[in-house]
Amino acid sequence: MGFTYWGLEFISQGRHSLLRVFIDHADGILVDHCAEVSRQLGAVLDVEDPIAQDYTLEVSSPGMDRPLFTLEQFQQYAGHIIDVRLRMPFEGRRKYKGQLIGVEQEDVVIVVDDHEYLLPIELIDKANVVPQFKD
């Protein structure tokens, strides 16, 4: 459809789960784009039925605080400030906020308070770019 698949989140909330699909485009994403992809994707999901429970489908732009899912996306946003939440503690903590340096093999490299951490990608539960505004 001309959009880039950015990633997805499945948030299980009992009987009201949410499947959020992120799309991107060099020219940006409009609400009409999300609606168009939602209709197409919804039709495919209705036929294929890959999720057994009830859920709501949401199609969204990654936005300014875009989530990062892949090593390539982390590398693309090197130099930005990111928030990271891990599935389990690493070096005694689960939350990190600092400057993304890049990636090394299967690790995300981030500097927090002048300390460099190599966070294994498989431990990352959620990571988002922190929007920066210039004065």
pLDDT of residue 16: 83
- DSSP helix/strand/coil, 134: coil
Give phi and psi for 51, each to the nearest 5: -115, 120
pLDDT confidence of residue 65: 94
pTM of the model: 0.88
At 15 the pLDDT is 79
Q: Give the C-alpha distances (Å, rounded to integers) separating 1 from 37, 39, 68.
A: 8, 12, 22
Long-range contacts, stretch 110-117, CB < 8 angstroms, 24+ apart: 110/82, 110/84, 117/90, 117/91
For each successive 10 residues of the chain (135 residues), what is the average pLDDT?
Answer: 94 87 95 95 90 89 95 97 96 95 96 96 96 83
